[in-house]
Amino acid sequence: MSQNKTFIEFHEALLKLSHNPDFIGDNRSRKLASLSDLAGQLLQVDRVSIWQMNATGDRIDSEALYRLEGGHDYQPIALVESDNPAYFRALRTARVIDASEAHSDPRTAAFNETYFEPLGIHSLLDAPIFDGGRLSGVICLESLRRRTWTLPEISFATAIADTISLINTHEAWIRSQKQLAYVTHFDSLTGLPNLQSFRERVLHLIQKMRQRAGEGFTLIWIDLDRLKSVNDGMGAAGGNRVIAEIANRLRSLYLNGRDKVARVGGDEFAVLIRTNTDSDRIDYVIHQIQHCISDPLVIDDRTLRMTASLGVCRYPEDGGDTESLLRSAEAAMYHAKENGRARMQAFSSEIHSTARSRFVLEGELRQAIQNNALDVFYQPIVNTADAHMVSIEALVRWHHPEQGWMAPIEFLDVARNAGLMQDLGEVVLRRVCQDRQQAASRGHPLPITAINLAAEQVMDDRLPRQVQEMLEQYGVAGSELQFEVTEDAIKGDSKSMQATLNELVALGSRLSIDDFGTGYSSLSRLKHLPFSRLKIDRSFIRDIPDDADDIAITLSILGLARGLGMEVVAEGVETEDQRQWLQQQGCELLQGYLFSKPVPIDQLRSLHSNPLRSAL
């Protein structure tokens, strides 16, 4: 038979095998067995083995072995580079190793004692296998007699090696698709289905229920209460361990009618219940979930008790599509959280109205931030002795196009839940810098301005750079600004937060602790943080000098500040009695309606030019 005809027959046989539906559907090991069988039978070669290279490229392990006289007989064998360096170097050239005299061939001679002689191998033909661009193995044809390998045989061995390379590439693609599907549909921390997967399941159930009159399902939205406190006290790793433990409990919890449990947010989970959805059964399911979450858990030898706020809605009563159901359940959950946490709230028309108005307000606030439509008012901080204005506090205000001036508490909570606090903070910082630039250009520089920082800003290591760029843009010195941080925002022991505060001080700015006495910060930590001022919360000032408890708290804060060398500002001073008492106790600075309410920049200029002695 001519070489051309042999070549064609060999490749026709390989094409017939590789395009066979049964072969295509086989697993990897059966495909390798079929290919090694084909090579052994067509070439009448004693042994055909297929080897896989490890990730570091210094070892090959046998995957398949076909013997002409005995069929398939897998033998686990490993060959290492340190014993056969010349062979591995030859493989890396990605060329066929054609060794008719394998015993004496310099590329393969090192195999004599441990491999060739025990097996009686005389001639060798090896072709490299690839996985993408990486050398991943070799197919080895071994003859017990001396054999000169023909061109069709070498070509056929290479074609089989290429076929295995294609199998490798296809398997890698399949693995990547599975990994992508996992990432797309599962949460990496808990292994639970994620929000995308949960959405798809809800949509599937809706489509099924539309075809079955009278059937529905229940959606339960779960939000862990006070996880931020865990993160602050134990770090993000501690919080993640709590989330993972709660996820394991929910995964293992038997709930009658349970369809799917998912992690749908940072500390949020969702559960679908398909059967037994009458109110009594659902109440029992809720009880099971709350009990499961509230059982004590131990993290780093600390025992924690978690609670959760739950929102419940039903299809089709509370929403006819996926997004409306998710919004209904989440809105009910927020209602439960606002009413004291650790409770369940079923969705209702009242909640729907509240959630809708909140959703609309969020969109309007987002647009106001983008359009620079917010205002900044300023409230003086005065010297206790003579009521001279020594600094001012910048306070954000919003004149809603329909509702008029809104109280900050009305929209700041919306901003926080919508993740807008950093954007809001940037708007205030920019407006303050603009006002200072304009005032300086008119020859009427403003007093040092205090700007409130949200916890979200303090934890963002990009804040100092943002402040520096804003200062440079408007020609404002860092010493012209003071930043106020609430006590709750610094109760964590984050190195990132400390670095951010130190960088702000390095710009020349001073730092104040706002609303002091209402938070949970460790007093021993204050001396390690770069604060130079405390602001006593207005709740302690309101009833002095008549309330003994408020007097004791205020005196202790004044004593603490003196010990730490810090200035003190008393907020919320509204009466002459309050002013006189605070002056007698040595409180240096006062702020409140007794001197001025927050005013727009134009009114502030007149106050600045006419000191507030008249209020004394």
Rounded Cα gap, residues 4 and 286, in angstroms: 76
Residue 366 domain-assigned? no
- Any idea which of 64-78, 482-496, 584-598 has the lowest mean pLDDT? 482-496
Tens-digit pLDDT profile for residues 220-241:
999 998 887 787 677 778 888 9
Amino acid 101: pLDDT? 92
With a cut of 90, say whether residue 475 has pLDDT above it: yes
Burial class (CB in 10 A: 0-12, 13-18, 19+), 100: middle
- 610 and 540 inside one domain: yes
Omega of the bond leading into 21 within 30 degrees of 0 (cis)? no
Q: How many CB atoms lie within 10 A of CB 195?
A: 16
With a cut of 60, say whether residue 524 has pLDDT above it: no
Label residue 387 left, alpha or beta by phi (over 0 means left) and psi (-120 to 50 means alpha): left
With a cut of 50, say whether residue 6 has pLDDT above it: yes
Tens-digit pLDDT profile for residues 48-71:
999 999 888 889 988 888 888 878
Amino acid 411: pLDDT? 83
Over residues 376-404, mean pLDDT: 89
Residue 360 domain-assigned? no
Q: Which of 182, 212, 227 is the last residue of a domain?
A: 182
Amino acid 615: pLDDT? 38
Omega of the bond leading into 316 within 30 degrees of 0 (cis)? yes
* Most distant CA atoms of the chain, gap in Å: 119
- 94 and 207 inside one domain: no
- 429 and 551 inside one domain: yes
User: How much is the CA Rg of the chain, to the nearest whole Å?
Assistant: 37
Residue 403 domain-assigned? yes
Burial class (CB in 10 A: 0-12, 13-18, 19+), 551: middle
Over residues 252-271, mean pLDDT: 90
Task: Provide CB contacts within 8 A for 11, sequence distance 6+.
Answer: 155, 156, 159
CA proximity to 262, closest of 192, 196, 203? 192
Retrieve residue 355's tokens: 């959630």
Q: Give helix 322-338 / helix 195-209 axis angle, nearest 10°.
A: 120
Amino acid 613: pLDDT? 45
Amino acid 356: pLDDT? 61
- 308 and 240 inside one domain: yes
Q: How many CB atoms lie within 10 A of CB 495?
A: 8
- 467 and 513 inside one domain: yes
Tens-digit pLDDT profile for residues 113-149:
888 888 899 999 999 988 877 888 999 999 999 999 9
Rounded Cα gap, residues 495 and 64, in angstroms: 55
- 475 and 604 inside one domain: yes
**CA distances (Å), origin 613, targets 248, 383, 544, 605, 607:** 64, 10, 22, 16, 10
- Any idea which of 108-112, 233-237, 293-297, 449-453 has the lowest mean pLDDT? 233-237
Strand, coil or helix: 218: strand
Amino acid 25: pLDDT? 83
Over residues 557-563, mean pLDDT: 86
Over residues 392-410, mean pLDDT: 85
> Over 509-528, what HEC string results?
CEEEEEEECCCCCCHHHHCC
With a cut of 50, say whether residue 616 has pLDDT above it: no
Residue 364 domain-assigned? no
Contact 60, 138 (CB under 8 A): yes
| pLDDT-derived band at 248, boundaries 50, 70, 90 | very high
* CATH code at position 15: 3.30.450.40
Over residues 557-574, mean pLDDT: 88
Between 477 and 214, name the one with better pLDDT: 477
* The dihedral formed by the CA atoms of 398, 401, 406 and 408, expressed in degrees to the nearest 10: -30
DSSP string computed for 67-88: ETTTEE-----EEETTT-HHHH
CA proximity to 244, closest of 226, 227, 221, 232? 227
- Any idea which of 128-142, 159-173, 328-342, 483-497 has the lowest mean pLDDT? 483-497
Residue 355 domain-assigned? no
- 219 and 103 inside one domain: no
Most confident option among 262-266, 497-501, 612-616: 262-266
pTM of structure? 0.51
SS3 content of the chain, % helix, strand, coil (to 5): 50, 20, 30
With a cut of 70, say whether residue 609 has pLDDT above it: no
Number of domains in the chain: 3
Rounded Cα gap, residues 16 and 544, in angstroms: 96
Over residues 439-467, mean pLDDT: 89
* CATH code at position 587: 3.20.20.450
Retrieve residue 615's tokens: 């209020």
- 462 and 557 inside one domain: yes
Exposure b/e, 349-365, CB count within 10 A at least 16 = b: eebbeebeebeebbebb
With a cut of 90, say whether residue 378 has pLDDT above it: yes
Q: How far does the chain reach from its first CA to its final CA, in angstroms? A: 118
Retrieve residue 482's tokens: 């003071």
Q: How many CB atoms lie within 10 A of CB 463?
A: 22
Over residues 343-366, mean pLDDT: 76
- 165 and 51 inside one domain: yes
Q: Where are the alpha helices (DSSP H) in 133-194?
A: 151-185
With a cut of 90, say whether residue 278 has pLDDT above it: no
Residue 476 domain-assigned? yes
Amino acid 10: pLDDT? 81
CA proximity to 407, closest of 377, 434, 367, 371? 377
Contact 62, 75 (CB under 8 A): yes
| CA dihedral over 100, 105, 107, 108, signed as positive or negative | positive
Q: Which of 347, 379, 408 is the last residue of a domain?
A: 347
Amino acid 526: pLDDT? 66
* CATH code at position 207: 3.30.70.270
DSSP string computed for 452-502: EE-HHHHT-TTHHHHHHHHHHHHT--GGGEEEEEEGGGG-S--HHHHHHHH
Which residue segment(s) compose the domain that 469 sits in? Answer: 371-615
- 160 and 208 inside one domain: no
With a cut of 90, say whether residue 269 has pLDDT above it: yes
Residue 359 domain-assigned? no
Q: How many CA atoms lie within 13 A of 206 on its CB side?
A: 20
Instruction: Indicate the average pLDDT of the chain.
Output: 85
Q: Which of 288, 313, 347 is the last residue of a domain?
A: 347
Instruction: Look up residue 148 and give its DSSP letter.
Output: P
With a cut of 60, say whether residue 276 has pLDDT above it: no
Instruction: Look up residue 597 and give its DSSP letter.
Output: -
Rounded Cα gap, residues 412 and 421, in angstroms: 8
Contact 390, 383 (CB under 8 A): yes
Share of the chain above pLDDT 90, in %: 31
Rounded Cα gap, residues 144 and 366, in angstroms: 80
Residue 163 domain-assigned? yes
Amino acid 520: pLDDT? 44
Rounded Cα gap, residues 293 and 307, in angstroms: 6
Over residues 516-532, mean pLDDT: 65
Over residues 258-263, mean pLDDT: 92
Rounded Cα gap, residues 464 and 290, in angstroms: 42
CA proximity to 483, closest of 492, 502, 491? 502
Rounded Cα gap, residues 138 and 548, in angstroms: 87
- 599 and 465 inside one domain: yes
- 545 and 428 inside one domain: yes
With a cut of 70, say whether residue 493 has pLDDT above it: no
Rounded Cα gap, residues 185 and 177, in angstroms: 12
Retrieve residue 34's tokens: 């079929």
